[in-house]
Structure 1
Amino acid sequence: MGYKYDNEEWIVVPEEANIIRKIYQLYLEGSTLQQIKEYLEEQQIKTATGKEVWATAVIQKILKNEKYKGDSLLQKTYTEDFITGRKRKNIGQRDRYYVTNSHTAIITDEVFDRVQEEMSKRARLVHKEDGTVESSTSKYNGKYLLGNLIVCGNCGASYRRRTERGKVVWRCATRIEKGKEVCSHSPTLDEEWALKVLGEKICENGVYDEEVVRNKVDWVLVFGKNLEIRCKDESKFNVSFLQNEMK
């Protein structure tokens, strides 16, 4: 959204560019991804593919896309099999190239950088047992590694470990403290499934290894229907929930 590719050149689409600027503006004004989603739907603004319903994951990708400030990260994916045309995400298998000022920007460098700082700040919010909120100054300061990685993609709060009906799960701290009506789009995350996914996506042998995950993973953002694993090398993995893995 915001551009069309014409004659090997990215051309700004003015009407869509205004939507992109509005999304950045709302985020910097304090809106959550869910609130931005609701605003876009209330205004009957359609997605780039013409859908009337927005996904918070799509909004998050817009806020992280360097193309909107006029830069391009090349070779994010590569063709693994030229016969089938199958592509894979490039997480280090090939060189990647960052090109500045490759096309006309929609968002200024300053606004883009402020959004990245705000996203990082929200991801570091820690909800304490007494109900207060503070910014975490230290990673990996808890008993469980996942408690330092899992963040609600809706409100930005950290996830907490709980045992419910004999099963270990993780829930959004805001939802625990203030109720489902305050953060209604934060699913419960099954610990066993989360560890399995991290093992398959991050660890070489497909088996969860805490030290490997600690060294490679920066954050795990939980959205309504999927989670996004952000790695320290800037690669990302999106995993959809199955029906029995969310509540």
Structure 2
Amino acid sequence: LSSALTKGHWVNGKAPYGYEYSYKTKRLVPDTAGNPSPSEVVQSIFNDALNGVSTSDIAYKLNRKGILSPNGSHWTSTTISRILHQEVYLGKTIYGKSSGSGHKNKKTTPLKFKDKSEWIIVNNAHPALISEEVFEEVQSQLNRRKKL
């Protein structure tokens, strides 16, 4: 295992919404710029989901407040759902979820998603924005809703 991985350094490309990449520590730090800041927006998304607000209603609420999504445009239920499923907000950095590339035009090894047992998970790699309890409860609510 490379030392960058075991130290929890961020090597997965662009920092996820709610975080910034620190070149000094090579880790993620909460993005606290703005009012509300992206890290506060992530926390409010989880809190709303915890309180049973649907992903489309969360997106609608953020759009009404004029808060821009990670790509600088409108929020969608898909964007909200992606944020709610990311363990990165627990302070974890996960390596090796997939191998290969899904690139359309380059000849590369086909993209394969690996079994969770093969992932390398580094806990406490950066400050968590969400507690384990909140995250788990939101996951079980999302799973229950999916089955309806």
CA distance in 2, matches of 1:102, 1:18: 19
Q: Which amino acid aligns with 1:42?
A: R
Q: Would the alpha carbon gap of residues 100 and 22 (structure 1) be closer, same or farther in structure 2, given more than 3 Å must change?
A: same
Instruction: Say yes or no: does 1:124 pair with 2:147.
Output: yes
Q: Which amino acid aligns with 1:108?
A: S
Q: Which protein has the larger Cα radius of gyration, Structure 1 or Structure 2?
A: 1
Q: Which amino acid aligns with 1:117?
A: S
1:134-213 to structure 2, matched below 5 A, reads none
CA distance in 2, matches of 1:62, 1:99: 19
Preserved CA contact (<8 Å) 2:27 2:125? no
What are structure 2's unaligned runs of at least 5 residues? 1-16
Preserved CA contact (<8 Å) 1:3 1:11? yes
Q: Which amino acid aligns with 1:6?
A: S
In structure 1, the partner of 2:85 is 64
Q: Which amino acid aligns with 1:39?
A: K
Q: How many residues are treated as equivalent by the alignment?
A: 122
Instruction: Say yes or no: does 1:42 pair with 2:64.
Output: yes
Report the alpha carbon displacement of residue 78 of structure 1 after superposing the two structures with TM.
3.1
CA distance in 1, matches of 2:38, 2:110: 29
Instruction: Say yes or no: does 1:6 pair with 2:22.
Output: yes
Report the alpha carbon displacement of residue 27 of structure 1 after superposing the two structures with TM.
1.0
Identity %: 25
CA distance in 2, matches of 1:120, 1:59: 15
Q: Would the alpha carbon gap of residues 56 and 79 (structure 1) be closer, same or farther in structure 2, given more than 3 Å must change?
A: same
SS at match of 1:112: helix
Q: Would the alpha carbon gap of residues 50 and 120 (structure 1) be closer, same or farther in structure 2, given more than 3 Å must change?
A: same
How far does the alpha carbon of each residue in 1:215-245 deviate from its partner, in whole angstroms, 9 at most, with x for none? xxxxxxxxxxxxxxxxxxxxxxxxxxxxxxx
Higher-RCO chain (CA-CA 8 Å, sequence separation at least 6) = 2
Please, what is the CA RMSD of the aligned residues?
Answer: 2.4
CA distance in 2, matches of 1:86, 1:55: 31
In structure 2, the partner of 1:226 is none
Q: Would the alpha carbon gap of residues 102 and 36 (structure 1) be closer, same or farther in structure 2, given more than 3 Å must change?
A: same
Preserved CA contact (<8 Å) 1:77 1:87? no
Preserved CA contact (<8 Å) 1:79 1:85? no
SS at match of 1:118: helix
More strand by share: 1
CA distance in 2, matches of 1:59, 1:87: 30
Q: Which amino acid aligns with 1:107?
A: I
CA distance in 2, matches of 1:44, 1:2: 17
What is the TM-score when the length of structure 1 is the normalising length?
A: 0.45
In structure 2, the partner of 1:75 is 96
In structure 2, the partner of 1:23 is 45
Q: Which amino acid aligns with 2:120?
A: Y
Preserved CA contact (<8 Å) 1:4 1:10? yes
CA distance in 2, matches of 1:110, 1:67: 14
What are structure 1's unaligned runs of at least 5 residues? 126-247
